[in-house]
Structure 1
Protein backbone atom coordinates (compact mmCIF):
# COMPACT_ATOMS: atom_id res chain seq x y z
CA UNK A 1 0.00 0.00 0.00
CA UNK A 2 1.38 3.37 -1.05
CA UNK A 3 1.29 6.42 1.19
CA UNK A 4 0.71 8.62 -1.87
CA UNK A 5 -2.48 10.64 -1.54
CA UNK A 6 -5.38 9.83 -3.84
CA UNK A 7 -5.48 11.99 -6.97
CA UNK A 8 -8.97 13.19 -7.92
CA UNK A 9 -9.84 14.93 -11.19
CA UNK A 10 -12.81 17.27 -10.99
CA UNK A 11 -14.92 17.45 -14.14
CA UNK A 12 -18.07 19.39 -14.93
CA UNK A 13 -19.39 22.47 -16.62
CA UNK A 14 -17.24 25.51 -15.90
CA UNK A 15 -20.47 27.39 -15.15
CA UNK A 16 -20.25 25.61 -11.79
CA UNK A 17 -17.01 27.33 -10.78
CA UNK A 18 -18.16 27.96 -7.20
CA UNK A 19 -19.25 24.34 -6.73
CA UNK A 20 -15.96 23.08 -8.23
CA UNK A 21 -13.96 25.29 -5.90
CA UNK A 22 -15.95 23.96 -2.93
CA UNK A 23 -15.34 20.35 -4.02
CA UNK A 24 -11.65 21.12 -4.52
CA UNK A 25 -11.42 22.58 -1.02
CA UNK A 26 -13.26 19.64 0.56
CA UNK A 27 -11.13 17.05 -1.23
CA UNK A 28 -7.91 18.90 -0.44
CA UNK A 29 -8.76 19.08 3.27
CA UNK A 30 -9.53 15.35 3.10
CA UNK A 31 -5.95 14.77 1.94
CA UNK A 32 -6.44 14.31 -1.81
CA UNK A 33 -4.40 15.82 -4.60
CA UNK A 34 -6.91 17.60 -6.82
CA UNK A 35 -6.62 18.36 -10.52
CA UNK A 36 -9.37 20.49 -12.00
CA UNK A 37 -10.10 22.94 -14.79
CA UNK A 38 -7.62 25.80 -14.59
CA UNK A 39 -9.52 28.18 -16.85
CA UNK A 40 -13.21 28.92 -16.66
CA UNK A 41 -15.06 30.01 -19.80
CA UNK A 42 -17.63 32.30 -18.23
CA UNK A 43 -17.50 35.83 -19.63
CA UNK A 44 -17.44 37.35 -16.14
CA UNK A 45 -14.23 35.44 -15.37
CA UNK A 46 -12.27 37.25 -18.08
CA UNK A 47 -11.01 40.73 -18.69
CA UNK A 48 -12.86 42.58 -21.44
CA UNK A 49 -11.99 41.05 -24.80
CA UNK A 50 -10.33 37.94 -23.35
CA UNK A 51 -12.87 35.27 -24.19
CA UNK A 52 -11.57 31.79 -24.95
CA UNK A 53 -11.10 31.01 -28.65
CA UNK A 54 -12.24 27.74 -30.22
CA UNK A 55 -8.59 26.69 -30.53
CA UNK A 56 -7.95 27.42 -26.86
CA UNK A 57 -11.10 25.50 -25.87
CA UNK A 58 -9.93 22.47 -27.88
CA UNK A 59 -6.49 22.63 -26.25
CA UNK A 60 -8.03 22.92 -22.76
CA UNK A 61 -10.33 19.96 -23.47
CA UNK A 62 -7.36 17.82 -24.54
CA UNK A 63 -5.35 18.93 -21.50
CA UNK A 64 -8.23 17.94 -19.22
CA UNK A 65 -8.15 14.40 -20.62
CA UNK A 66 -4.47 14.24 -19.60
CA UNK A 67 -5.54 15.31 -16.10
CA UNK A 68 -7.95 12.37 -16.07
CA UNK A 69 -5.00 10.14 -17.04
CA UNK A 70 -3.13 11.33 -13.93
CA UNK A 71 -6.09 10.76 -11.60
CA UNK A 72 -7.07 7.74 -9.54
CA UNK A 73 -10.72 8.71 -9.90
CA UNK A 74 -13.02 11.36 -11.34
CA UNK A 75 -15.56 13.49 -9.49
CA UNK A 76 -18.19 15.07 -11.73
CA UNK A 77 -19.58 18.28 -10.23
CA UNK A 78 -23.10 18.41 -11.63
CA UNK A 79 -25.58 20.52 -9.65
CA UNK A 80 -29.15 19.67 -10.64
CA UNK A 81 -27.84 16.61 -12.46
CA UNK A 82 -26.57 18.75 -15.37
CA UNK A 83 -23.99 17.11 -17.64
CA UNK A 84 -23.02 18.91 -20.83
CA UNK A 85 -21.32 17.71 -23.99
CA UNK A 86 -17.71 18.19 -22.83
CA UNK A 87 -18.39 16.56 -19.48
CA UNK A 88 -20.12 13.61 -21.18
CA UNK A 89 -16.99 13.15 -23.31
CA UNK A 90 -14.79 13.28 -20.19
CA UNK A 91 -16.97 10.71 -18.41
CA UNK A 92 -16.79 8.38 -21.43
CA UNK A 93 -13.00 8.83 -21.52
CA UNK A 94 -12.69 8.07 -17.81
CA UNK A 95 -14.77 4.92 -18.19
CA UNK A 96 -12.73 3.85 -21.25
CA UNK A 97 -9.51 4.22 -19.26
CA UNK A 98 -10.89 2.36 -16.24
CA UNK A 99 -11.20 5.32 -13.90
CA UNK A 100 -13.99 5.24 -11.31
CA UNK A 101 -16.47 8.09 -11.75
CA UNK A 102 -18.67 9.58 -9.04
CA UNK A 103 -21.10 12.49 -9.12
CA UNK A 104 -21.68 15.36 -6.71
CA UNK A 105 -25.44 15.31 -7.41
CA UNK A 106 -27.90 12.72 -8.65
CA UNK A 107 -30.26 13.53 -11.48
Structure 2
Protein backbone atom coordinates (compact mmCIF):
# COMPACT_ATOMS: atom_id res chain seq x y z
CA UNK A 1 0.00 0.00 0.00
CA UNK A 2 1.37 3.45 -0.83
CA UNK A 3 2.47 5.63 2.03
CA UNK A 4 -0.25 8.15 2.90
CA UNK A 5 -0.91 10.68 5.63
CA UNK A 6 -2.89 9.61 8.68
CA UNK A 7 -6.64 10.19 8.45
CA UNK A 8 -8.44 11.56 11.53
CA UNK A 9 -12.20 11.90 11.91
CA UNK A 10 -13.31 14.73 14.17
CA UNK A 11 -16.41 14.10 16.27
CA UNK A 12 -18.23 16.37 18.68
CA UNK A 13 -21.26 18.50 19.33
CA UNK A 14 -22.12 21.10 16.72
CA UNK A 15 -22.08 23.64 19.57
CA UNK A 16 -18.28 23.32 19.35
CA UNK A 17 -18.05 24.24 15.65
CA UNK A 18 -15.32 26.83 16.30
CA UNK A 19 -13.25 24.36 18.32
CA UNK A 20 -13.70 21.69 15.63
CA UNK A 21 -12.52 24.13 12.94
CA UNK A 22 -9.44 24.88 15.08
CA UNK A 23 -8.71 21.17 15.54
CA UNK A 24 -9.21 20.63 11.79
CA UNK A 25 -6.74 23.42 10.97
CA UNK A 26 -4.15 22.20 13.49
CA UNK A 27 -4.33 18.61 12.25
CA UNK A 28 -4.13 19.70 8.60
CA UNK A 29 -1.04 21.83 9.31
CA UNK A 30 0.45 18.72 10.94
CA UNK A 31 0.05 16.87 7.62
CA UNK A 32 -3.02 14.87 8.64
CA UNK A 33 -6.06 14.30 6.41
CA UNK A 34 -9.16 15.42 8.32
CA UNK A 35 -12.75 14.33 7.91
CA UNK A 36 -15.23 16.28 9.99
CA UNK A 37 -18.97 16.71 10.52
CA UNK A 38 -20.86 18.60 7.86
CA UNK A 39 -21.83 22.13 8.77
CA UNK A 40 -25.13 23.88 8.17
CA UNK A 41 -25.72 27.58 8.68
CA UNK A 42 -29.44 27.04 9.06
CA UNK A 43 -31.66 24.63 11.00
CA UNK A 44 -31.88 21.15 9.52
CA UNK A 45 -34.72 18.64 9.53
CA UNK A 46 -34.70 15.42 11.52
CA UNK A 47 -34.35 13.51 8.22
CA UNK A 48 -31.29 15.59 7.30
CA UNK A 49 -29.85 15.11 10.80
CA UNK A 50 -30.27 11.33 10.53
CA UNK A 51 -28.67 11.29 7.07
CA UNK A 52 -25.70 13.33 8.30
CA UNK A 53 -25.35 11.03 11.31
CA UNK A 54 -25.21 7.95 9.07
CA UNK A 55 -22.72 9.70 6.77
CA UNK A 56 -20.51 10.56 9.74
CA UNK A 57 -20.26 6.86 10.66
CA UNK A 58 -18.92 6.22 7.15
CA UNK A 59 -16.34 8.97 7.77
CA UNK A 60 -15.28 7.09 10.90
CA UNK A 61 -14.89 3.99 8.70
CA UNK A 62 -12.44 5.93 6.50
CA UNK A 63 -10.37 7.22 9.42
CA UNK A 64 -7.36 5.74 11.13
CA UNK A 65 -8.47 7.27 14.42
CA UNK A 66 -11.09 9.54 15.95
CA UNK A 67 -10.58 12.83 17.79
CA UNK A 68 -13.50 13.92 19.97
CA UNK A 69 -13.70 17.68 20.46
CA UNK A 70 -15.29 17.99 23.90
CA UNK A 71 -14.48 21.24 25.73
CA UNK A 72 -15.39 20.97 29.39
CA UNK A 73 -15.90 17.24 28.96
CA UNK A 74 -19.27 17.58 27.22
CA UNK A 75 -20.30 14.62 25.07
CA UNK A 76 -23.82 14.51 23.67
CA UNK A 77 -25.94 11.57 22.60
CA UNK A 78 -24.84 11.58 18.95
CA UNK A 79 -21.18 11.85 19.90
CA UNK A 80 -21.56 8.96 22.38
CA UNK A 81 -22.99 6.87 19.53
CA UNK A 82 -20.03 7.80 17.31
CA UNK A 83 -17.52 6.94 20.06
CA UNK A 84 -19.21 3.57 20.63
CA UNK A 85 -19.19 2.90 16.88
CA UNK A 86 -15.53 3.85 16.53
CA UNK A 87 -14.50 1.63 19.43
CA UNK A 88 -16.62 -1.27 18.14
CA UNK A 89 -14.80 -1.04 14.80
CA UNK A 90 -11.39 -0.91 16.48
CA UNK A 91 -10.61 2.77 15.90
CA UNK A 92 -8.51 4.51 18.55
CA UNK A 93 -10.43 7.38 20.17
CA UNK A 94 -8.84 10.41 21.81
CA UNK A 95 -10.35 13.52 23.37
CA UNK A 96 -9.46 17.20 23.44
CA UNK A 97 -10.57 17.10 27.11
CA UNK A 98 -8.76 13.97 28.32
CA UNK A 99 -10.85 13.79 31.49
CA UNK A 100 -13.56 12.26 29.28
CA UNK A 101 -11.41 9.40 28.05
CA UNK A 102 -13.15 7.06 30.49
CA UNK A 103 -16.56 7.54 28.84
User: Residue 2 of structure 1: CA displacement?
Assistant: 4.8
Instruction: Provide the residue aligned with 2:73 in structure 1.
Output: 81
Instruction: Provide the residue aligned with 1:14 in structure 2.
Output: 14
Instruction: Provide the residue aligned with 1:55 in structure 2.
Output: 47
User: Residue 38 of structure 1: CA displacement?
Assistant: 1.5
User: Cα RMSD over matched residues?
Assistant: 1.2
Give 3-state SS (helix, strand or coil) of 2:21's partner: helix
Instruction: Provide the residue aligned with 2:89 in structure 1.
Output: 97
Calculate the TM-score normalised by the size of structure 1. 0.88
**1-side partners of 2:32 and 2:77: how far apart?**
27
Instruction: Provide the residue aligned with 2:61 in structure 1.
Output: 69
Instruction: Provide the residue aligned with 2:39 in structure 1.
Output: 39
**1-side partners of 2:62 and 2:69: how far apart?**
18
**1-side partners of 2:2 and 2:10: how far apart?**
22
- How many residues align? The count is 99
Runs of 4+ in 1 over 2 A off after TM superposition: none
Calculate the TM-score normalised by the size of structure 2. 0.92
**2-side partners of 1:3 and 1:28: how far apart?**
17
Unaligned runs of 5+ in 1: none
